[in-house]
Amino acid sequence: MAKFEDRENRRKGSIVGSIVDGVPVVSGSGRGRPKEDREIKKRVSLSVMPSLYEDIQKIAYVQRRSISDVVGDLMEQFRAGHEKDLAEYRKIKNSEKNG
């Protein structure tokens, strides 16, 4: 009889058991890597000339970096050089909300 009880207890703790019993499964059972409170990358698609992409690949290879890392750094530099434009954008958007 102990074998049946053990089996039943394992079933109740499983996803199948929750479906049979009608109890929703609570995610976050402690499995896997815990969620970190950090910004995650956004996947985008860009169109570039093949010759430009090949040269960027070569540069990234020599620097032992990914193309994503190289492009990300370039985008951060671009953003830093255009803080006035970002401030103007925020000003425009705030005036649209209030207007």
Q: What is the pLDDT of residues 82-97, one digit of tens each?
A: 999 999 999 999 988 8
**Predicted local confidence at residue 4, as pLDDT:** 77
Mark 52-68 as b/e (b = at least 16 C-beta within 10 Å).
eeeeeeeebeeeeeeee
Q: What's the rounded Cα separation, in Å, for the pair 29 and 18?
A: 14
Q: Is the pLDDT of residue 3 over 90?
A: no
Higher pLDDT, 11 or 39: 39
6-22 confidence digits (pLDDT tens)? 877 777 776 666 666 66
- Residues 16, 18: Cα–Cα separation, whole Å: 5
Q: Is the pTM of this model over 0.85?
A: no
- DSSP letter at 27 equals S
